[in-house]
Amino acid sequence: MNSKLNKILCGAGLILAVVAISIRLAGCNNKEKAMEQRQAMFEDSLLTMIREHNIPMIQVKYTAPGDSVYCQVGVTPWSTEKPVAIDSTEFSYRETGKADYEKDAVFQAASLSKVVFAYTVLKMYDKGEIDIDRPLYEYTDIDRFVDKDMAKKLTARLILMHRSGIDDWAASPSSDAWPTAPINFTFPVDSIFGYSGEGYAFLQRAVEAIKGKDIQSIAKEYVFEPLDMPLSSYEWIPEFEGITTASVKRNGESQGVRQFPRQNVAYTLRTNAIDYTKFLKAIMNGTGLSAESHALMITPCSGLATQFPPKVRPIDEKKTIFWGLGIGIEENPHYGRVLWHWGDNGNTKALFIILPAQKKTLVYFANSGAGHEIANRVLNLFLGDKTPFDIEDWINQE
């Protein structure tokens, strides 16, 4: 009797186990299906946006606690050298999921280059290799400056928060004339926020003089290798062959894959959303920086940041945009402090945000002059919130 009962109980247990496994598998299948549907929703929404704005391709990486989404969608071949009319011969290209460096595209980071440089300088500061309040003429020459007395007041701190007073550029930075072009001041040093790529390039020269090597070598040592960013570089590397996006005008005409004549911390970084997200997480968490340097980077110190000083636009009157050491800051009533930066190399755009309170990051790259016209739509799509950021108007308002 006991033997028969045991057999019955064992059989019942086996049935229950099979049922439990079936339920678990069904749950996993449902979860996978839901994730696939969510991924498709993001991709389809992005595809709609870029079609509406004649943007050939966009790459986005979003992270939040327990969540991560990566999308790369396009409507034209993303590394074409030939002119492309977006409205004809439509080409759909999608690669999603885990990183595949043979297929994931590389983009110009434009001014997102500056944030990597600022982080590098602050790491040097932590090591005692640079004093951010020491005049930079003590590290490198000031031969190109027209006003030498004014130039002697420049420090790394002032340049990183864009209070150098220097013109944005002395000449087009990719031109043959730029390396010897005279540098002028638009404003007195430390008198007003004035965005300056030329200032960052001057600080680059000081950093290279201190270290005795070029900025790519320094960034590789301080940022790219420690954070595992193999497809990030201020100069062209062999890994970029065949995966680098072309720059495309608003009318769909391809400008080809742009080549830069020299490394420049203000605009020549190439990277992708996968690599750059690792960097954003380092900023968010203070990885690699002392508590002091991290606070310096993410705390407003520039005074009100306006894009075309002394002009004050309607967006500037809201008084929500500032700068820390190398990074933009929006004081947002909904999200709190938002860390951000935009990149604009003409026919390629980039943008990132970090929400420290929510532990969220988002970065996107678009190889089109229209790439910033969809900023709030992209942010709202992934954040699941319709609250607008002032960032888009700050970037686009004239």
Q: What is the mean pLDDT of the chain?
A: 89
Q: Look at 44-58, 67-81, 168-182 and tell me which has the smallest mean pLDDT.
A: 67-81
What integer pLDDT is reported at residue 78 of this predicted model? 45
Q: What is the mean pLDDT of residues 186-192?
A: 97
**Percent of the chain residues topping a pLDDT of 70:** 86
Binning pLDDT at 50, 70 and 90, where does residue 104 land? confident
| Superfamily of structural domain 54-396 | DD-peptidase/beta-lactamase superfamily (3.40.710.10)
Closest CA to 361 of 257, 245, 282, 306: 282
CA distances from 103 to 78, 92, 245, 355, 366 (A): 11, 14, 11, 29, 16
Q: What is the mean pLDDT of residues 204-232?
A: 98
What integer pLDDT is reported at residue 148 of this predicted model? 98
221: left (phi > 0), else alpha (psi -120 to 50), else beta?
alpha
Binning pLDDT at 50, 70 and 90, where does residue 96 land? very low
Q: Give per-residue pLDDT as tens, 109-151.
A: 999 999 999 999 999 999 999 999 999 999 999 999 999 999 9
Parse the chain into domains and list their residue ranges: 54-396
- What the block records as the tokens of 267 is 């605009």
Q: Residue 352 in contact with residue 332, Cβ under 8 Å?
A: no
Residue 98 has pLDDT above 50, yes or no: no
Q: What is the mean pLDDT of residues 142-168?
A: 98
Binning pLDDT at 50, 70 and 90, where does residue 33 land? confident
More confident residue, 13 or 49: 49
What integer pLDDT is reported at residue 79 of this predicted model? 43
Binning pLDDT at 50, 70 and 90, where does residue 99 land? very low
Q: What is the mean pLDDT of residues 344-368?
A: 97
Residue 83 has pLDDT above 60, yes or no: no
Q: What is the mean pLDDT of residues 14-19?
A: 61
More confident residue, 383 or 84: 383
The Cα 30–Cα 39 span in angstroms is 14
What integer pLDDT is reported at residue 100 of this predicted model? 36
Closest CA to 74 of 220, 245, 261: 245
What integer pLDDT is reported at residue 95 of this predicted model? 33
What integer pLDDT is reported at residue 86 of this predicted model? 34
The alpha carbon dihedral of 271, 348, 284, 360 has a sign of negative
Binning pLDDT at 50, 70 and 90, where does residue 250 land? confident
Q: Look at 3-7, 94-98, 308-312 and tell me which has the smallest mean pLDDT.
A: 94-98
